[in-house]
Amino acid sequence: MSEVTKITGPLAIIAGQGPLPCVLAEAVAAHEIPLHIVALRGEADEEIERFPHTWMKWGEIGKLFGALEKSGCNDLVIIGAVNRPDFGNVRPDFGAIKALPFLLGLGKGGDDSVLSRIVNYFEDKGYRVHGAGDVAPELLAGEGMLSTKTPSAEDKTDIEIAFKVVRALGRLDVGQGAIVAKGRVLAVEAAEGTDAMLQRCADLRTSGRTRGARAGVLVKAPKPGQEERIDMPTIGPETLRKAAAAGLAGIAVAAGRVLLAERAATIEAANENKLFLVGENWDEIDD
Residue 2 is predicted with a pLDDT of 42
- Count helices and strands in the chain by DSSP H and E runs: 10, 13
Of residues 204 and 146, the one with the higher pLDDT is 146
Provide the domain limits for residue 35: 11-137
213 and 173 within one domain:
yes
Distance CA 161, CA 157 (A): 6
Q: What integer best gives the mean pLDDT of the chain?
A: 85
| pLDDT tens profile 239-259 | 999 999 999 999 999 999 999
Q: 10 Å Cβ neighbour count for 146?
A: 20
Domain total in the chain: 2
In angstroms, the CA 36 to CA 34 distance is 7
Q: Are residues 60 and 144 in the same domain?
A: no
- Mean pLDDT over residues 153-162, rounded? 95
Task: Give the model's confidence band at 66: pLDDT under 50 very low, under 70 low, under 90 confident, else very high.
Answer: very high
Query: Is the predicted pLDDT of residue 169 greater than 50, yes or no?
Result: yes
Residue 258: which residues within 8 A CB-CB, separation 6 or more?
Answer: 140, 141, 220, 221, 222, 232, 233, 234, 235, 279
Q: What confidence score (pLDDT) does residue 34 get?
A: 94
pLDDT at 164: 93
Q: Residues, the chain, total?
A: 287
pLDDT of the residue at 210: 61
If asked whether residues 269 and 190 sit together in one domain, one would say: yes
pLDDT on residue 116:
74
Q: Are 84 and 179 in a shared domain?
A: no
pLDDT, tens digit, 9 for 90 and up, residues 98-125:
555 555 555 555 555 566 778 888 888 8
Q: How much is the average pLDDT of 52-78?
A: 91
pLDDT at 104: 53
The verdict on 89 and 215 lying in the same domain is no
CA 6/CA 268 separation, integer angstroms: 32
For residue 261, is pLDDT > 80?
yes
Q: What distance in Å separates the CA atoms of residue 37 and residue 40, rounded to the nearest whole number? A: 10
Q: Where residue 1 falls among pLDDT bands split at 50, 70, 90?
A: very low
157 plus 232 within the same structural domain:
yes
The number of CA neighbours under 13 Å toward the Cβ of 128 is 15
CATH value at residue 226 = 3.40.140.80
